[in-house]
Amino acid sequence: MSTDDTEADLPVLHADATLVAIDKPAGLLAVPGRGPDKADCASARVQRRWPDARVVHRLDMDTSGVMVLARGAAAQSALARAFAQRRVRKRYVAVVTGVPLPPDGADGWGDIRLPLAVDWPRRPRSAVTFAHGKPSHTRWRILGLERWGPLWATRVELQPITGRSHQLRVHLAALGHPILGDPLYADGAARHAAPRLLLHAAGLTLPHPSDATPLTLASPVPF
Alpha carbon of 130 to those of 117, 125, 216: distances in Å? 9, 16, 35
- Shared domain check, 63 and 148: no
pLDDT at 3 over 60: no
Closest CA to 154 of 142, 140, 141, 137: 142
Same domain, 99 and 194: yes
Domain assignment present for 116: yes
Q: What is the dihedral sign for C-alpha 180, 185, 188, 191?
A: positive
Residue type for position 41: C
Is the residue at 62 inside a domain? yes
Q: In the beta sheet, which residues pair with residue 217?
A: 204
Q: What is the pLDDT of residue 8?
A: 54
pLDDT band at 1 (very low <50, low <70, confident <90, very high): very low
Could you tell me if 62 and 144 lie in one domain?
no
Mean of per-residue pLDDT scores for the chain: 94
In a domain, 209, yes or no: no
Give which of 48, 24, 76 is closest to 200, Cα–Cα: 24
Whether residue 5 is predicted with pLDDT greater than 60 in this model: the reply is no
Distance CA 197, CA 175 (A): 17
Give me the number of domains the chain comprises.
2
Q: 5, 40, 60, 107: which is the annotated catalytic residue?
A: 60
The answer on 157 and 65 residing in a single domain is no
Domain match, 79 and 111 both: no
Percent of the chain with pLDDT over 70: 96
pLDDT at 6: 43
Q: What is the pLDDT of residues 67-104, one digit of tens each?
A: 999 999 999 999 999 999 999 999 999 999 999 999 98
Q: Are residues 11 and 109 in the same domain?
A: no
Residues 103-124 have pLDDT tens digits of: 988 899 999 999 999 998 888 9
The range of the structural domain enclosing residue 95 comes to 91-199
* 65 confidence band (pLDDT: 50, 70, 90): very high
- Name which of 138, 38, 145, 67 is nearest 102 in CA terms: 145
Our CA angle for 169, 55, 159, nearest 5°, is 35
Q: Is 23 a residue of the active site?
A: no
Instruction: Tell me the C-alpha distance between 18 and 82, whole Å.
Output: 14
Q: Are 109 and 46 in a shared domain?
A: no
